[in-house]
């Protein structure tokens, strides 16, 4: 029997990342969770008969060391889903360079770091699936999310480019752009003041479908791209937003 392919999910301890991990497990993958929330990640890994590693995606050496440890312990990483992310609702004129650096380091450069660590092995073996999470904020703009939207737009452009670079190597690279989703992160963002609370409170009404997504509904889009039969789907950007963004 062929060994299950190893699937690494960053930000996999909760929210969309955890939902992606569950769907990858159902797809027959050997799931590895990478997160700073080690207690939650280990609990989910136990549930999925998987593995958890502590990882800070802003630490280049740490990312490389984690991938090396996974390869030693479990085998090569054939599927990478980048869900790790961070944001806060704030007007652009009220931000500073420290805030810019934090948002870009996690949401954009974090994706670059993990892809840089796994892509050489994928191309050498002639098989790989990469799914990078961006956001519908990157496609249509989103009030109080200017820096985040810019970072996620960078993820889209980056992913399309590496898709072109790896298309003849058996590796696919795609993007999922969630719309507003009922996660711990968005609830935390709504607690940052009166205006953020108003925005989060109105999200259900703003959605054409009438409510925010649940994490599992977003995760389904990601696992379409990770399927063994998805070789001809690469360089694509999929909005999973209940009709909020159509393109």
Rounded to 5°, the CA angle 49-51-53 comes to 160
Angle of helix 215-225 versus helix 15-26 axis, rounded to 10: 50
Asked about 148 being catalytic, the answer comes back as: yes
Instruction: Identify which of 122, 104, 32, 35 has the alpha carbon closest to the alpha carbon of residue 73.
Output: 32
How far apart (Å, rounded) are the C-alpha atoms in residues 9 and 184? Answer: 18
Alpha-carbon distance of 46 to 49, in angstroms, equals 5
As a whole number of angstroms, the distance between CA 96 and CA 91 comes to 11
The Cα 217–Cα 52 span in angstroms is: 23
Cα 20–chain centre separation = 9
Q: Which residues are catalytic?
A: 148
């Amino acid at each position: 029997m062929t060994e299950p392919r190893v699937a690494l999910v960053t930000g996999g301890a909760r929210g969309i990342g955890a939902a992606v991990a569950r769907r990858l497990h159902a797809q027959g993958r050997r799931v590895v969770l990478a997160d700073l929330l080690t207690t939650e990640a280990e609990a989910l890994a136990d549930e999925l008969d998987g593995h958890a590693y502590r990882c800070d995606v802003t630490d280049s050496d740490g990312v490389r060391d984690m991938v090396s440890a996974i390869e030693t312990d479990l085998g090569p990483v054939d599927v990478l889903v980048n869900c790790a992310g961070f944001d806060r609702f704030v007007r652009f004129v009220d931000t500073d360079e420290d805030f810019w650096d934090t948002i870009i380091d996690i949401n954009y450069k974090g994706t670059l770091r993990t892809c840089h660590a796994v892509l050489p092995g994928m191309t050498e073996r002639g098989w790989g699936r990469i799914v990078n999470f961006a956001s519908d904020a990157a496609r249509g703009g989103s009030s109080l999310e200017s820096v985040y939207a810019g970072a996620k737009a960078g993820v889209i452009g980056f992913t399309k480019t590496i898709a072109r670079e790896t298309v003849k190597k058996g590796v696919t690279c795609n993007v999922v752009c969630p719309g507003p989703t009922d996660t711990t992160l968005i609830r935390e963002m709504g607690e940052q003041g009166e205006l953020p609370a108003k925005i989060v409170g109105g999200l259900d009404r703003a959605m054409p479908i009438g409510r925010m997504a649940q994490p599992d509904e977003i995760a389904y889009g990601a696992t379409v791209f990770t399927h063994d039969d998805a070789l001809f789907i690469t360089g694509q950007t999929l909005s999973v937003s209940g009709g909020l963004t159509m393109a």
